Structure 1
Amino acid sequence: MNNRLGTGAIIAAVLGLAVSHVSAETAHILWKDLRPATQAIAEDANLPMIAAKLPDHGETLSLNLQDKAIQLAGYALPVDRDGDLVYQFLLVPWTGACSHMPTPPPNQIVLVTPAHPYKMKEAYDPVAITGVLQPGMEKSQLFILDGVSIVQSGYTVRRAEVASVDSVPDTVTLPVNSPWSFLNKKKN
């Protein structure tokens, strides 16, 4: 029996090394890394930044991140849920995007399928996702108060690890005089 425990400890140690090896190669990215350097950021495009205001409609993707393990923080907007369990969500760079305000460009939206259902407290929970980034346009149906909206995302992360975070480092904060400023997440 001691031999079994020894083997189990060795397997656990090897798995632990494999996990730490993967996390060492994970790139912590910001939203700006998902768009061309020449594309206006939200503050420069007369907030909110929307695809219609951009020459390429925000469809230019960062292909240098293809198949890379990344970590990105943003706000989760459920696409597929059952009660408080979310099976798929859109990760967006600011609160209110897609449902209360115009949709960001596709290169600023990530369609996320968690490895395990994510228990969401409320829409626009700040979260960090970790997984392999795949560029490619994908459409999702988003059910909002006044009907259904079709949202195009420029990236997907499947089997993502999802963790709650207190804040999003590069979030766009809506101006105080914006009618949507109530959507700004408070820092605890």
Structure 2
Amino acid sequence: MVSRASRRRVLAAFLAALGLAALGLAALGLAAASAQAEDVVDLGWDDLIPQGQPPLSPSLEGVIPHDESAMASGQPASSGVRGDWNGRIVRLSGFVIPLDQDGAGVRVFMLVPYVGACIHVPPPPANQLVLVTSERPYEAEGLFAPVTVTGMFGAAATSTRLAEVGYALSADRIEAYGG
């Protein structure tokens, strides 16, 4: 089976051979854009947990009482991060916790796997938190707005005022979830 990218490369070579340089360059540009779109890795939150480690405990998801036992437990120890996607373009959906916001929108935020993460005690482990930075502000529809973020991804231990974070994502695109 021949991929779309292969067909476009053949078409580009054919057009170039005919001496239609402008059309050939346009076809090559389409092939490069198509290849880049095909290279986006769709990640889920379980993908961020190192193999052999248990998934996030359901008891950590959702509303957790703010009693002394919850506060004493603190952020669960991270079982490490995965470097499989370092330097790759990924797409990950989650919820926004703004860290740097102005009138134009949010430029820096934590992407978290569930509503209430980092606001309720304890925050998820570091391998379930992603620090997202964007050159263009995103107009989040409030705290915990559901979004899908696409951009350059990597393991990057970072400390914020709310929690230790295990990953970073430089956003090329931020969309409302499902939009």
Please give the TM-score of this superposition, normalised by the length of structure 1. 0.68
Change (3 A) 1:86 1:16: farther
1:135, distance to aligned residue in structure 2 (A)? 0.4
RMSD value over aligned CA atoms?
2.9
Query: How many matched pairs?
Result: 151
Check conservation: 1:92, 1:108, Cα contact below 8 A: yes
Question: Which position in structure 2 is the counterpart of 1:71?
Answer: 91
Sequence identity (%): 28
1:32 counterpart (46, 69, 75): 46
Name structure 1 gaps, 5 residues minimum.
1-6, 142-148, 168-188
Question: Which position in structure 2 is the counterpart of 1:117?
Answer: 137
Change (3 A) 1:43 1:26: same
Instruction: Answer with 1 or 2: which has the greater Rg.
Output: 2
- DSSP-derived class of the 1:120 partner: coil
1:47 counterpart (30, 40, 60): 60
Please give the TM-score of this superposition, normalised by the length of structure 2. 0.71
**Which amino acid in the other structure matches residue 129 of structure 1?**
V
Name structure 2 gaps, 5 residues minimum.
1-20, 63-69
Question: Which position in structure 2 is the counterpart of 1:144?
Answer: none
1:8, distance to aligned residue in structure 2 (A)? 9.1
1:36, distance to aligned residue in structure 2 (A)? 1.6
Misfit runs of 4+, over 2 Å = 7-20, 37-44, 46-54
Hey, what's the Cα distance between the residues in 1 that align with 2:25 and 2:102?
36
1:53, distance to aligned residue in structure 2 (A)? 7.5
1:11, distance to aligned residue in structure 2 (A)? 6.9
Hey, what's the Cα distance between the residues in 1 that align with 2:154 and 2:60?
27
Check conservation: 1:84, 1:120, Cα contact below 8 A: no
1:156 pairs with 2:168 = yes
Check conservation: 1:112, 1:160, Cα contact below 8 A: no
